[in-house]
Structures are given as C-alpha cells and as structure tokens.
C-alpha cells in the first residue's frame, strides 16, 4: 500500500508540475467559451446573396401583398423582393449574370394557372443561381404555406384580429405529482443539468483515460517498467497510475469550478455582464428550440430546484467509479499496444461503450422514466454517464444504491481483467498483439 502511495505521488506531481497542466487548466474554460461563441457565430453566419425575387403571375399573392408584408427570415438568411417583372427575362438575366453579380440568388415564380385549391398543381417554382440548403427550402415552403393560409382565411372573411388569436399556441405546465420540487420548466432545467454532467464524465473519461494509456505506453516503450516491476507488483503500478491520474483530474476539476466562480463573481460583473447574458444562454436560445422568455425564466428558476445534495454526493462517486472502471481498461490497452500506434483497433472495445453511453444519456434526459434509462443507469459500463444525466430527476434510493453496487462490482471486475492484461502486455515486446492473445493472457496463470 505504501508503494502504491509513492507511485501515486510521482504520477501526480510530475503531471501537475508540467506547464501543460497549468495551460490546459487555464485555457480549457476559455476554449470551451470560444467553442460556444463560435458555434453560435457559425450557426448564424450567412454567406452569399440572400435576395430572393418573387414574381406572381397568378395575381393571387400580389393582391395579398398590397396590404401585407412577405416577411423575411428572422435570422436574415432570406430577403424577399416582390417584383413585377417578366419571369422569363429575369430568369434569363440571372442565369447570364456572373454568380457574384446577380441581383437575386433565386426567383420564385407563381405561375398564372396557380390555384389556391390545388397549390401543388401547377406548383410554384424556385429557380436558383445558388443552391438552397435544406433549412432554406423548409423555410420557403413554410413561409408560403403560411401566406396561402392567410389568403384562404381572408377569403373566408376572418378578420386580422381573429387571425392573430388563432396563431396563439397552447403551452401546458408540466408538474410532477411525486416530486413537489419539480415545478413547471423543471424537466428542461434537469435535462440541461443532466446533460452537462453526463458530458463532463464523457469528456473526462476520454481525456484522463488517454492520459493513463499514454503513461503506460511511455513506461513500456522506454522499458523502465522492467526496473519498476522488479520493485513493485504490476498491480501496484497499475493502481498507482490510475489513482495518480485520477487525482490530477480531480484537481483540474476543482480548479475549473473555482475558476468559473471567480470569473462569474469577480470578473464578469466588472465587464458589466451577468450570468443570464452568458454565451451559453444565448446558444440555447438561438441553437435550441425557440423559447419564449417566460419559459426561459421558468427554466432558469427551476435550476435552483435541482436536488443539489444528491448531486453533490453522488456525482463525484459516479465520476470516480467510471474513472476506475475505464481507467484500468485504458491502462490495459496501453500495455498491450506499447509504442505501436497502428493498433488503435484495440481501443474500440473501450471507446464504443463510452460513446453509446452519451447517446443513451441524450435520449434519457427526454425520457427520464424509460426502461432504457433504468437499464443503462444500472449497467456499470454506462451507469457513470447515464446516471449522472439522470441525477437531477430525483432518483429513488434503491436505484442509486443498486447502481452504485453494480458499479463497484464492475470496476473490481475490469481492474482484475485489466491487471492480467497489463502484467503480461507490459513485458511483451516486438510483437503485434491480437484480441485472441489478450484473451489468453486473461485466463493464463502467473
């Protein structure tokens, strides 16, 4: 045990002392922020000519447009211009013009024979110089359907006031009978919190898992392992490395949380920004489903209703459990792989369950009480990610207890398997390792 402690210290201190550690600790939150800002920026980025001409030869739309607007796209991706020109000559001039000099990127033609009763036959045509993307096609279809509906309502003598009333949609308030805390908007808040936690574990499994793997590969490649294993048992070496890297991860997490607090409490107010204005909120608003301010407020309010005690107690346990379970497997793969980087296929059995877990997590935050959620939060290979995602949805004690129990059994099992692969693999040189061989190592004695 004393030797494991010495190994943990070395693994921890050498990593924390490296400039790279400080750099990732400081830059990761900045990078994360940039990523979110960039994703918002890219999603709203419009390039090229957004002007679309509309020529109505049927007269049905022109009559409507006399006292109504054809609204542009809210994000500025399409500007409509209702023009009274000859369609054929406009189309000809557009196709003849150089692409960047054309007045319009497309022209929508409503043929003379167009009928309200059968809008598909003859159909409206969108003649384009620049190909419209899927989003633009959907937008144009929706916009003209909308206009057509309004023309129909006009013909039925439905007043504009009435039309406005008809556009109002119903929004139910979703309230849990079992958990009084889960007020309206809670599901959304819990889902977001759950996904954030699920992703945190997902990312750290890969990040620190690879760190373990690289460390083992280094020891095997530079052969120090032979000296080490003559002093300590391979199992001690394995545990020392996993726990040492785990401590590095924990340190980094704590620093990140502290950093976020400092930035939020001291730095942002200085810049005149409050939490609500953070890019993540903006990203949710523009990227996610359109949300009215009212339910946004309910969601933010509900964040305060999350079961924080349960989360603070259990999230670190799942983090640790997942880390131990997968960390030992990453070490085993590193031992089998050595310097041979073209043996990446050995990683598939580890990476696949992690990736599947995050997909399950994304599903279960929408269906927190599904049987998929139940099973995936019990199976140790997926429970760290899936259960973390479910923690905000008030999990029953029996489920958490069973899940943790299985997780402990799971990592005892994988560590046992990994130790057997590790101790053979780490001394095996100059040979390509196959899965069948690794299986033999697991079952071989001493």
Partner 1 sequence: MSLLSLQHIVKQYGTYTASDDVSFDIPAGKIFGLLGPNGAGKTTLIRMITRILYPDAGHILFNGEALAEKHTERIGYMPEERGLYKKMKVGEHLIYLARLKGLSKSEAQGKVNHWLQKFQIEDWYHKSIEELSKGMSQKVQFIATVIHDPDLLILDEPFSGLDPINSKLIEEEIFALSRTGKTIIFSTHRMEQVEEICNEIVLVNKGRKILEGGVKELKQRFKEHLFRITYQGTLPDGMLEKLEVVSADTQSLTVRFAAGHKGNELLQLFIEKNLEVTSFNEILPSINEIFIRQVHSSN
> How many other C-beta atoms are found inside a 10 Å radius of the C-beta of residue 10?
12
Least separation, in Å, of the C-beta of 430 and partner 1?
11
Instruction: Please select the residue that binds partner 1; options are 37, 232, 311, 412, rule is CB under 8 A.
Output: 232
Least separation, in Å, of the C-beta of 229 and partner 1?
5
CB 329 within 8 A of CB 212: no
Least separation, in Å, of the C-beta of 223 and partner 1?
4
- How many residues appear in the chain? 446
154 contacts partner 1 (rule: CB under 8 A): no
Q: Strand pairing of 125-128 and 106-110?
A: antiparallel
d(CA 44, CA 268) in angstroms, rounded, equals: 25
**CB contact burial 210-225 (16+ within 10 A = b; e otherwise):** ebbbebbbebbeeeeb
Least separation, in Å, of the C-beta of 230 and partner 1?
4
DSSP 413-439: HHHHHHHHHHHHHTT--S----HHHHH
440 contacts partner 1 (rule: CB under 8 A): yes
CB 77 within 8 A of CB 135: yes
Least separation, in Å, of the C-beta of 215 and partner 1?
10
75 contacts partner 1 (rule: CB under 8 A): no
Instruction: Please select the residue that binds partner 1; options are 168, 230, 309, 341, rule is CB under 8 A.
Output: 230
Structural tokens at position 341: 């980087």
224 contacts partner 1 (rule: CB under 8 A): yes
CB 373 within 8 A of CB 364: yes
DSSP 58-121: SSHHHHHHTTS--PPPTTSS-EEEE--S-HHHHHHHHHHS-GGG-S-SEEEEE-TT--SS-TTT
22 contacts partner 1 (rule: CB under 8 A): no
Least separation, in Å, of the C-beta of 74 and partner 1?
54
Angle formed by the axes of helices 397-425 and 371-378, nearest 10°: 50
Write out the binding residues for partner 1, residues 164-223 only, by CB under 8 A: 218-219, 221-223
Count the residues of the shown chain that bind partner 1, applying the rule CB under 8 A. 26
Which residue, 142 or 224, is less far from partner 1 as judged by CB? 224
d(CA 434, CA 238) in angstroms, rounded, equals: 22
Instruction: Please select the residue that binds partner 1; options are 18, 214, 432, 434, rule is CB under 8 A.
Output: 18
Which residue, 168 or 230, is less far from partner 1 as judged by CB? 230
Sheet holding 106-110, edge to edge: 79-82, 51-56, 106-110, 125-128
Which residue, 396 or 446, is less far from partner 1 as judged by CB? 446
339 contacts partner 1 (rule: CB under 8 A): no
Least separation, in Å, of the C-beta of 18 and partner 1?
7
Which residue, 57 or 218, is less far from partner 1 as judged by CB? 218
Structural tokens at position 25: 């600790």
Instruction: Please select the residue that binds partner 1; options are 43, 115, 159, 231, rule is CB under 8 A.
Output: 231
228 contacts partner 1 (rule: CB under 8 A): yes
d(CA 4, CA 92) in angstroms, rounded, equals: 79
Which residue, 228 or 362, is less far from partner 1 as judged by CB? 228
127 contacts partner 1 (rule: CB under 8 A): no
* Listed ranges 61-69, 226-234, 288-296, 350-358: which one lies at the site for partner 1 (CB under 8 A): 226-234
Which residue, 84 or 445, is less far from partner 1 as judged by CB? 445
Find residue 53's DSSP bridge partners. 81, 107
Instruction: Please select the residue that binds partner 1; options are 75, 160, 226, 339, rule is CB under 8 A.
Output: 226
3 contacts partner 1 (rule: CB under 8 A): yes
227 contacts partner 1 (rule: CB under 8 A): yes
Where do contacts with partner 1 occur on this chain (CB under 8 A)? 3, 6-7, 10, 14, 18, 218-219, 221-233, 427, 429, 440, 445-446
């Amino acid at each position: 045990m004393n030797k494991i402690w010495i190994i943990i210290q070395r693994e921890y201190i050498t990593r924390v002392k490296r400039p790279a550690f400080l750099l990732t600790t400081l830059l990761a939150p900045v990078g994360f922020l940039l990523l979110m800002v960039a994703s918002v920026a890219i999603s709203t980025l419009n390039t090229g000519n957004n002007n679309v001409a509309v020529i109505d030869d049927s007269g049905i739309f022109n009559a409507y447009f006399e006292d109504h607007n054809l609204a542009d796209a809210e994000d500025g991706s399409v500007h409509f211009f209702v023009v009274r020109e000859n369609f054929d000559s406009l189309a000809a001039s557009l196709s003849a013009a150089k692409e960047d000099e054309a007045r319009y990127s497309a022209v929508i033609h409503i043929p003379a024979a167009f009928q309200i009763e059968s809008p598909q036959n003859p159909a409206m045509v969108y003649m384009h110089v620049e190909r419209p993307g899927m989003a633009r096609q959907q937008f144009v279809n929706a916009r003209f359907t909308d206009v057509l509906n309004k023309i129909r309502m006009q013909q039925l003598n439905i007043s504009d006031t009435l039309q406005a009333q008809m556009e109002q949609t119903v929004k139910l308030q979703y309230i849990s009978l079992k958990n009084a805390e889960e007020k309206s908007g809670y599901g959304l808040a819990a889902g977001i919190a759950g996904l954030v936690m699920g992703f945190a574990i997902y990312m750290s499994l890969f990040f620190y898992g690879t760190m373990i793997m690289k460390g083992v590969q280094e020891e095997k490649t530079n052969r120090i392992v032979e000296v080490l294993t003559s002093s300590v048992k391979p199992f001690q070496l394995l545990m020392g490395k996993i726990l040492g890297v785990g401590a590095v991860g924990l340190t980094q997490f704590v620093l990140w949380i502290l950093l976020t607090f400092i930035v939020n409490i001291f730095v942002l107010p200085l810049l005149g920004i409050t939490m609500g204005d953070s890019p993540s909120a903006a990203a949710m608003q523009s990227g996610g489903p359109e949300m009215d301010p009212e339910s946004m407020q309910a969601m933010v309010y509900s964040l305060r209703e999350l079961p924080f005690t349960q989360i603070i107690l259990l999230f670190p346990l799942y983090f640790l459990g997942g880390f131990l379970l997968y960390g030992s497997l990453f070490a085993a793969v590193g031992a089998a792989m050595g310097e041979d980087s073209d043996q990446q296929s050995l990683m598939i059995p580890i990476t696949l369950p992690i990736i599947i877990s995050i997909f399950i997590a994304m599903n279960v935050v929408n269906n927190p009480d599904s049987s998929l959620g139940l099973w995936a939060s019990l199976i140790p290979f997926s429970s760290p990610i899936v259960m973390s995602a479910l923690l905000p949805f008030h999990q029953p004690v029996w489920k958490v207890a069973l899940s943790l129990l299985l997780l402990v059994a799971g990592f005892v099992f994988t560590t046992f398997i990994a130790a057997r692969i590790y101790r053979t693999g780490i001394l095996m040189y100059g040979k390509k390792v196959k899965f069948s061989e690794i299986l033999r190592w697991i079952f071989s004695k001493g």
